[in-house]
Each structure stands twice: as C-alpha cells, then as structure tokens.
A and B are shown apart, each in its own frame.
Chain A
Amino acid sequence: MSCVVTELIIDGAGCASCVGKIEGALKAVSGVQHAEMNFAQRTVSVSGTAPSDVLVQAIERAGYNAKVSSAETDTDELDEKEQADLAYYKKLMRETWIALALGAPLMAYALITGEMSVNTTTERIVWLIIGILTLGVLLASGRHFFVGAWKSFLNHSANMDTLIALGTGTAWLYSMVVVFFPEAVPAQARHVYFEATAIIIGLIDLGLALEIKARGRTSEAIKRLIGLQAKTARVIRDDKEMDLPIEHVLLDDLVRVRPGEKIPVDGEVVEGHTAIDESMLTGEPMPVEKAKGDEVVAGTLNKTGSIVFRATRVGKDTALAQIINMVKRAQNSKPPIGRLADVISAFFVPVVMITAVISALAWLNFGPTPAIAFAIVSATTVLIIACPCALGLATPMSVMVGVGKAAEAGVLIRNGEALQTASKITAMILDKTGTITLGSPKVTDVVVVSGRTELEVLQLAASVEAGSEHPLALAIMETAQEKAIELSKASSFNAITARGVEAEVDGRRVLFGNEKLMHERDVTLNVAGDDFVQKAQSLAADAKTPMYFAIDGKLAGIIAVADPIKEDSISAIQRLQKNGIRVIMLTGDNRDTAKAVAKKVGISEFVAEVLPEDKAKKVQELQMAGEVVGMTGDGINDAPALALANVGFAIGTGTDVAIESADITLMRGSLHGLADAIAVSKATLRNIKQNLFGAFVYNVAGVPVAAGILYPVLGILMNPVIAGAAMAFSSLTVVSNANRLRLFKAQEH
C-alpha cells in the first residue's frame, strides 16, 4: 500500500490540549506513520497507509468531528453531482441507441409488411434469433429496470421499474412462447412483440436521459447561490498575508479584500471604505457604502476600495451558507397541494398491476379471437403506460424552480406550505415603521422666526439633545453632523415628561418641546402676525412631527422630524392592491401621523396607536373575518403577529438573516419583495396545478384506453409502443413545464 498524506479539518477542538489527544488518537491507528496538527488552522495532516474514513472515525471516537479537507465545499459537491449526472445521462443514451438499433428496423419491418407472425419453420428460426437479440437488449439496456424491480419486489414495494419490467417481460415471454410452441396459441394469435419490447426499453431510457438534462436546469438558482462563494480568502495572521481556502478562515481573523474581489466570509470592516454590490443576495441594484464598523456579507462583490475586515461568521454560519441551506430545504419540501398526489402514488403501482390482470381477464372472457393476444397486448400496455413518475414529480419540480426563482429576487421562502399559502393571501398587514418607512427619523423642516437662522436653531437644539437616545434627538444630531455644526455644552438640563426639554446653552435658556410646554411657559406662538401653530399643524398633516423651539422665553422656530417613506413603498402598495389584496397599516404612532402616512402611500385602512400585542389581535380579527392574512414586519417586535399570520413576512435590512419567526424573508427593504413573493408563489401554484392536472388526466385517461375500454365502441386498442412513448415523455413533460417557470418575471415598476 502506498503512503499518502491526508489533510483533515477538525471541528470541536477548543483548546491547545486537544492537539495531543487528536494526534495520539491518530497515531494509535494502524498504518499511521505521522500525525501533526495545526491548531491555528484546525487541520491535521496524517501520513501513512490508513484510509481517510478510518482516520475520521478515530478522531470522532476521540470526541471531535473531522472531515477530509479536499473536495468538501459545496461547489465541488455540485461539480461532482453534475459529473455523476452526466455519466448517467451518457449511459442511458448508450442504452437507448442499443435498444433502438434493434427496435427501429423491426418496427419498420412490422409497419411495412404488417406481418410479425410465426407460421413456418424458417420464420421460427429467424424469430428465435431476433428473440435472443431482444433478450440481449433487455440485458444491455433494460437491466436496471429488472434489477430494480426484483430488489423492490423482495422489499415488498413496487415502483416504475416494476411496471416496465413486468410489461416488457410479459411481451418478450409471450413472444418466445409463440416461437417455441406455436401450437399452444391459436393460429391468429401467433404474433411476436419483440419490436415493442426493444422500442419501449429504448424510449424509456431516452425519456430518463432527457429528464436528467431537464432536471439539471431546475437547480440553476441554487447553483448560482453556491457559485457566489469565494474559494479563498486573503487572511492576515501575525502581520503576514496568506491566501487560505475559505474553510480555513477562523473567527476573528483579519481578511483583506481588494476591489473586484468577493467577500469570502461575513465580517465587520475595521479598515478602509468601499462600495459593495449586494444585489446578488438582496436584489437591491444600488451598491452599498461600507466603512469602519459596517457589516460585510460573504458572496457580495467589493467594488471600489480595499478593506480589511474581522471575520464574524465563517463556514456554515455565514448568511450565504444559511441562505443556501434554507433554499435547499425549501426546494425539497412539499406544499399541501401535493399531498393527494403522494397518497395516490403510494398505492399506484400495485393498483396498476391489478388493473392489468383484470384487463387481461376481461379480454380472455369476453374478447374477440384471438383473445389471448388481445389480453397480452392490453396487459402490457396498461403496465407500460401507467407512469407514477409524472404524478410524483408534478409538485416537487415546480417547487424547486419556484423557490429558486424567488431566491433570485431576494425572497427566501421557508417551505412549500408558505409558498402555497402566499398565493392565497387576501389581506396584507404592513407595519409602518421600518416597513413602509425607513425606520430612522430625519429632520425634514426647520422653520424660523424672522431674525433667527436655521443654523443657530439647529446648533442649539443639537447641543441640548446631545447624548439623548431618543429617536428624534438622533435625527437632529445626524443633521447637525451632516452640516458640520459644532456643539456647545448644555447645562442645567431638565427633561419634562411628555412635554420636552429645557437647558442652558451658552448662557441662553433654551426650551424645546410641544405646544403644551410652550403654553405652560407662556411662550407666544404667534410672532408678529405669523401663526406658528398653523405651520405646525400643516407639518403634522404631512406626517411630520413638529417641535417648538424657544430661546430666552421667545419662540425661535419649529423643527420638524419625520420617518421618511421608502422610495418605492407607494408603487409596491399599488401593486398589491392591483392584485386585489386588502392592505392595512398598523402603527404605534399617533393618529395624525398614521393618517398622513396612510394617505401618502394610498392606504385607506389603518390602525394607529397599537401596542405590539394588539398587532396579533388584529391578525386574528381579520382571520375571523375569513381573510388569508399576510403580516409584514421587522421580525423582532412583530414576532407574535408574524407567527400568527397565515404568512409572516420579515423585512430584512440588507442581509441580516433574522428569519426564524418568518415564513418568508425579504432580503432587501423594498416592499416590492412582497408583491414579488406573491407573484412567484401564484405562478408556482399555477404551474403545479398544470402538472398535477396533466399527470392525473394522463393516467386517468391513459390506463383505461390501454386496457381497451374504447375497443367495444370504436375498435381502438392502444399499441404498446405508443404507450412506451407516452410513458417515456410524461415525466419529461412535467419537468419541462416546471422549467417554464424559470422564465417567469415578477414585474417590478
């Protein structure tokens, strides 16, 4: 045995003392000559003759997890899968050609001469040779059906292989009986079906091969996501930069990323600033500015600057890895609509077998001569045409494509059930703050009394509010920062509950608050015929929060703050309403602000001053009224309502995957994600219904026709070859129809 070096990645080694334990465990394995662990990288290289799985087991016995370091990333896994699929495709195509090489000329002969019977000795010899050739085809091209049928028979289960093996086997056996003992069957029934046997095998192999090709396309979305992962990262350790495979990047490692490179793992910027294109994850086309302290996310593309960041999530914990995982799971989950098909396909094959027997018996009892030939043909045809695959594939294939399509638009759907329910939503509750609006208030207006300047008022206001955590204070501070206003020190600070604040700044007494506060301190709000109360009211009507500002007992101006509505909220809400969805806004804000915002975005139904627990109540209320309710919120404050709603939508800001309580997560802030999610789920459900309908009709109509139900009336009995073709292409049709979904575009305005 040759001596090889194996690299293993260790998981669960927390301290340096683990090194000795792991190395000891490995050295105890027979065939290991040398084992050395690199604790920093959590890798161990082992030389010797022991196979890698034995090494992994030894490490696992020692209490750690290990895996072989090569070829273990998702990308490689995908490549391997593609290669395996390709190999299988080639094998099936080879088998198709072998089967058709015999079947096609035979079929041509049958069509031209209309003659496949066995009468003379010469014919018997020729057909015997052809029969043996057909057996060769069954073995070369159809062995997998027979092996599969036998194994599952032993296992008391039956599947597609069972039907094909029984069908073609019956046809071949009957033909061989005719060849060997022509006397055993009536003269008119001395017919052979070798051509049907060969062609059916060929067609079904062809159908399977094409299905594999088509299936490959259904997983395009996940391939794209996996393709986003960088392969290496430039890690700075001990002041040295080195390129490491991303699996070796550790928490708190410093990573350098240059312009044009992908972010390898999640992290927080510590040096430099740049713009990052996050569209591949969020669907948001505009690059996002990042500077020290900002989060960067694996898989996104660094555009302009060079940055160094500290790794905060690596390996399977990165947002991208979690997204991939979630999409994979959702793609394999089934919406309730597929359950009936599941129940049917669980009983399907034995039922078809029984149908074949009954049909054969019916022909034998009541059929015209040669009854035995009709019985064999109908039984074979029933077995061949009944394909449970179409039924079984109808739902999963569409879900696969639909969930992937949604992910491309930055919409993560948790499972098939969420997908199905989302297509039925009749009412959508939108939380105001952070959902319709940006969630962070900004100073919108500064109105000053003549003689005062905006800058002066802002400077004093910011000085008073410095250090306060109140959202309104933060908005003022931000504006002051933007305008590079220097703050002064405030003294004798006094916060007056539900009124405002007062303080002394630069020797001036400053009062900042609402109308009540001004009245209590006898501040006149009508300055030289200019009514500031009216101004404040008109600001309030515009969804802004106005606050009066007085200096030394005299009104100086009004500062208005508002939480700006997201740019595209209006158009997104219109899209929802156009789809016939009742849109309702909930907010903890006061009625005036709520009313103004609702009016601006075109929502007629709103509830103001709701407490978080009341949101869940509102969901329930709508459900009682028979609505299918979607609830959209930020996922943290709104968790109970999100959980209670038929479909909970969490609005992610950027790529924060706080998605535990939501059925559907929108990766970017835009409400268009909602309309997209609903559009995709509707399209997917439509696609599933088409598939299920097609599969049901195909089986419900195909099986009786194959049994010969049309014969007494129209004199039609289906040719087994036609059945073979129909069966071969039934699942291909389903997969192709699902693939049509890939072309679906959730139109965004």
Chain B
Amino acid sequence: MLIINIAGVILIALIIWWFWLYKPQAEQMGDDDLVVVVENGVYKPSHILMDSNDTHDITFLRKDASPCAETLMIPQLEISETLPLNKPTKIHIPPLGAGEYAFHCQMQMYKGTISIK
C-alpha cells in the first residue's frame, strides 16, 4: 500500500512538473515567415521566439476540423481570427515590447506563446 501511495504522489508531482513547471524550447522566428500548423489539438510550433521591434507575419494553417481549432486569439494584441480549414491565414504581428504573448483558441484548449526578447 505504501508503494502505491508513493507512486501516486510521484504521479502527481510528475503531472505538476510536466504541465506547469516545464519550460519548453521556443522556436526562433526565421527570415522566412513562420508557419504554425493547427492539428490534433496543438499549435506546432507552439512557442515562438521573436525579436522586439520587428514585425512579422505568422501564417496559421488549420488542419484540425474540430470547432475548437477555428478561432485564434491573441488577447493582448486584440487579435481574433477565424481560421478556415486547410487554408493559410496570415496574422500580422506588430512590433512588440519584450514579454510573453499568449495565443490560444476560444476556450484555451489549444495554447501557445510568442516570446519577445
């Protein structure tokens, strides 16, 4: 029983670490404008690194038919766009100050961040 309890606690710790504490690597925004694919419940890549004071176009390509994937929101930038299925949608990112800008779907099932350094 003790082993089971310890296993349970470890499992909880793993959940906390994996979903909350872990900081994933961000994708550097290249010269060619980045394409974010929306598929199977995730944005890929979901962590984008950009330089401050640069404008960029991020192209979103939605391959996920689920209605969850339909709306892309970047609340801090007051951007909300409806992504048509299988058709690239360009999102213009204006020059931004350093910080983290979250983007997600209407109900935050799909999540990603733009980090500006």
Contacts and interface: CB of A to CB of B under 8 A. Distances in A.
A350 B20 contact: yes
A353 B17 CA distance: 13
Interface in B1-32: 1, 4-5, 8, 11-12, 15-16, 18-20, 22, 24
Contact of B84 (A80, A364, A365, A415): A80
Contact of A365 (B5, B46, B65): B5
Contacts of B80: 329, 332-333
Nearest to A397: B106
A358 B18 CA distance: 18
Interface in A405-450: 415
B67 A212 contact: yes
A353 B13 CA distance: 11
B107 A357 contact: no
B55 interface: no
B52 interface: no
Contacts of B53: none
A158 B73 CA distance: 18
B62 to A, nearest CB: 10
Contact of A157 (B4, B5, B107, B111): B111
Contacts of A350: 15-16, 19-20
A85 B5 CA distance: 46
A147 interface: yes
Interface string A321-345: 0000000110011100000001001
Interface size range of chain A in the complex: 35 or more
Contacts of B110: 157, 159
Nearest to A348: B108
Given A155-B42, A156-B22, A357-B11, A88 B65 contact: yes
Given A332-B80, A357-B11, A342 B108 contact: yes
Interface residues of B, number: 38
A28 interface: no
Interface in A350-378: 350, 353-354, 357-358, 360-361, 364-365
A208 B67 CA distance: 9
A334 to B, nearest CB: 7
Contact of A357 (B12, B39, B66): B12
B42 A151 contact: yes
Contact of A151 (B1, B40, B71): B40
A144 B40 CA distance: 7
Nearest to A159: B109
A347 B18 CA distance: 13
Contact of B67 (A155, A215, A329, A358): A215
Interface string B74-92: 0100101110110000000
Contacts of B67: 85, 88, 211-212, 215
Contacts of B75: 334
Contact of B19 (A151, A156, A360): A156
Contact of B109 (A147, A361, A392): A392
A149 interface: yes
B99 interface: no
B42 to A, nearest CB: 5
A652 to B, nearest CB: 22
B102 to A, nearest CB: 9
A155 B22 CA distance: 10
B41 A149 contact: yes
B4 A354 contact: no
A345 B108 contact: yes
Interface in A105-163: 144, 147-149, 151-161
B85 A84 contact: yes
Contacts of B44: 155
B41 A365 contact: no
A354 B15 contact: yes
A328 B19 contact: no
Contacts of B46: 155, 157
Contacts of A349: 19
Most buried by B among A155, A347, A349: A155
Nearest to B109: A159
Given A87-B65, A350-B16, A147 B40 contact: yes
A364 B82 CA distance: 47
A108 to B, nearest CB: 31
Contacts of A333: 78, 80
A178 to B, nearest CB: 18
Nearest to B88: A53
A683 interface: no
B85 A81 contact: yes
A246 interface: no
A354 B107 contact: no
A613 interface: no
A153 B41 CA distance: 10
B107 A391 contact: yes
Nearest to B8: A361
A151 B41 contact: yes
Contacts of B73: 332, 334
B15 to A, nearest CB: 5
A326 to B, nearest CB: 12
B106 A357 contact: no
Given A87-B65, A88-B65, A360-B8, A346 B78 contact: no
A345 B107 contact: yes
Nearest to B40: A151
B63 to A, nearest CB: 11
Contacts of B71: 332, 396
Nearest to B107: A392
A271 interface: no
Contacts of B65: 84, 87-88, 91
Contacts of A87: 65
A498 to B, nearest CB: 49
Contacts of B81: 332
A393 interface: yes
Contact of A353 (B15, B40, B42): B15
Most buried by A among B4, B8, B16, B46: B8
B2 to A, nearest CB: 10
Interface in A285-344: 328-329, 332-334, 342
Nearest to A361: B8
A77 interface: yes
B82 A354 contact: no
Given A212-B67, A328-B82, A332-B71, A148 B18 contact: no
A393 B106 CA distance: 7
B1 A389 contact: no
B21 to A, nearest CB: 9
A388 interface: yes
A707 B67 CA distance: 30
Nearest to A355: B12
A88 B82 CA distance: 17
Contacts of B4: 361, 364
B106 A332 contact: yes
A161 B85 contact: no
A414 to B, nearest CB: 10
Interface in A148-199: 148-149, 151-161
Q: Which 9 A-B pairs have the closest CB atoms?
A: A392-B107, A332-B80, A148-B41, A159-B109, A88-B65, A151-B40, A350-B19, A361-B8, A84-B85
Given A159-B41, A159-B109, 6 more contacts: A148-B42, A158-B19, A208-B66, A357-B11, A361-B4, A392-B108
5 contacts: A85-B67, A87-B65, A155-B44, A158-B19, A334-B73
Interface of B: 1, 4-5, 8, 11-12, 15-16, 18-20, 22, 24, 39-42, 44, 46, 65-68, 71, 73, 75, 78, 80-82, 84-85, 106-111
